[in-house]
Amino acid sequence: MVAEKRSDNIDPDIGTYSKKVTGRELNLPEEINTRLRTLVDLLHDKGIINKKEYESRVAMHLHEFSKATAFEQLDEEL
C-alpha cells in the first residue's frame, strides 16, 4: 500500500508529517527525541524490541562516542 503524499504539511527539516502543536514550538532536537522515544515505546509494546536492552545499548554507544570525541579533542590540543 502506498502512503498518500501530502506536501502541505511535511516538515522539510525531518521529512515527516508535522501537526500543529498547541504549546510552545519544539526545537528540532526536542521533536526528534520525542519521536524516537515514542517509536521505542511502540516497538516495545508490540514486543519487537526489549526496551531495557535498547537503553543499555544506547548508553554504551553514547559512552563510546563521548570517549572518542574526548580523545579527539585531547589529540587536537596536543
Residue 22: predicted pLDDT: 72
Higher pLDDT, 75 or 33: 33
Non-local CB neighbours of 44 within 8 Å, separated by 6+ positions:
50, 51, 54
C-alpha distance across the termini of the chain, in Å: 56
| Reported pTM | 0.60
Q: How confident is the model over 46-76, as pLDDT tens digits?
A: 999 999 999 999 999 999 999 999 988 888 8
* CA atoms of 15 and 8, how far apart (whole Å): 12
* CA atoms of 58 and 27, how far apart (whole Å): 22
Residue 8's Cβ-count burial label (10 Å; 0-12, 13-18, 19+) is exposed
Q: Identify residue 57 by its one-letter amino acid code.
A: R
Question: What mean pLDDT comes out for the span 17-32?
Answer: 78
Residue 24: predicted pLDDT: 83
